[in-house]
Amino acid sequence: MTDGGGTWVLGVDSGGSGVRFALGRAEEGSPAEVSASDEPVRTGRTGIDAGHLLGQLVPAAMELLGRVGADRVAAVAVGAAGMASLGDDLRAKLPPGLAGAFGVRRVALAADAVTAYAGALGQRPGAVVAAGTGMIALGTDLTRWRRADGWGHLLGDCGGGAWIGRAGLEAAMRAHDGRRGGSAALLARAEALFGPAPELPGLLYPRTDRPAMLAAFAPEVARCAGSDPVAGAILREAARGIAESAAAVCPGGRAVTPGAGAADGENAGAARGVTADTARGESVSECEVALTGGLFRIGDPLLVPVREELAALSPSARTVPAAGDPLAGALLIASALARDELRLPHHPRMLWVTTEQDT
């Protein structure tokens, strides 16, 4: 019940199912104490609601600090879903709020893909795929971030849970209609899960969580993939989508022209680089790719084709296990920030850092 003179840091992971907190020593980087709330932070007209997050964060941090007998933290890192596009309120209000509550001056606000990256690979260059209902890939050579996909269920998320489930339900409806490309096995699974096929549109379209309902069918597609060729082809194409995103963000996996390739809209010019480089078989440095997120609980029916597709697309890529989860990643970023050792690239929307002195 004493802080032993060490430096404490706080990591926060804010997601769709709630907020998790981890307190650890800056020197160790692993959590000493953790807690969680099952109340997701609200999103309002100004984006993610900073006041709502602070209202959970401050008492949770107080409680964790109390457990170790400390009263201040040297750095805080918050990873949040939607930070890239919805983080304005957080960037404006979280640093002064945290300074007022704990005297902390070092604050990092990160997109959830960045905390997933840090949790999986630490501060090494490489790439991470985060796949659940959606799918996004993020890579860095430690000079800039590259992002691929993560555009949602209508514009991309190619190979994610909603993508797989949607393709599976389309194959079910094809079988129902007697169209080419149908799967009787997937039709049977769809009707077992959701009822008669013709009533599926009436169940799906009125919902606000359509991607989640689509993703709920992904495990059924995976279950059929071993015996049903249509389901197998869907998982193969999902694996290809995931590998394409991983390959696009792998540092060293292709020629990176200076100025091209940053996250959030600057890497369009490199579009044709992938195929050309791999076709020439150039010698490039190895790229570690970590596959993270709930979708990969599907296991081998997805993992095996992902590794095969990635090997074909980007011979320098090698899949590696993720060391930790996004909460561990947030804590790692906070620790690095406290020790002046943050090497992951700063970026206004991906990894925003403030180290202002008290004025």
Which residues of the chain form contacts with a second copy (CB under 8 A)?
85, 146-149, 151-152, 154-156, 158, 166, 169-170, 173-182, 184, 187, 196-198, 200-202, 204-205, 210, 214, 244-245, 247-248, 254, 261, 264-265, 267-268, 270-271, 273-275, 313
Decide whether 13 or 149 has the Cβ nearer to a second copy.
149
CB of residue 25 to a second copy, shortest distance in Å: 37
CB of residue 123 to a second copy, shortest distance in Å: 24
CB of residue 277 to a second copy, shortest distance in Å: 11
Classify strands 31-37 and 47-48 as parallel, antiparallel or unpaired. Answer: unpaired
Residue 188, φ and ψ in degrees, nearest 5 = -65, -40
Residue 330 tokens, joined:
């947030």
What whole-number distance in Å separates Cα of residue 234 and Cα of residue 148?
A: 21
Decide whether 130 or 169 has the Cβ nearer to a second copy.
169
Q: Where are the alpha helices (DSSP H) in the chain?
A: 50-68, 83-86, 88-102, 112-121, 161-177, 184-194, 200-204, 210-215, 218-224, 229-249, 273-280, 300-313, 326-338
Decide whether 187 or 342 has the Cβ nearer to a second copy.
187
Decide whether 158 or 222 has the Cβ nearer to a second copy.
158
Amino acid letter at 46?
Answer: T
Decide whether 23 or 111 has the Cβ nearer to a second copy.
111
Number of residues that make up the chain: 359
What whole-number distance in Å separates Cα of residue 333 and Cα of residue 345?
A: 11
* Among 91, 113, 89, 93, CA closest to 101: 93
CB of residue 240 to a second copy, shortest distance in Å: 9
CB of residue 346 to a second copy, shortest distance in Å: 18
* Among 140, 138, 128, CA closest to 83: 138
CB of residue 157 to a second copy, shortest distance in Å: 10
Decide whether 266 or 300 has the Cβ nearer to a second copy.
266
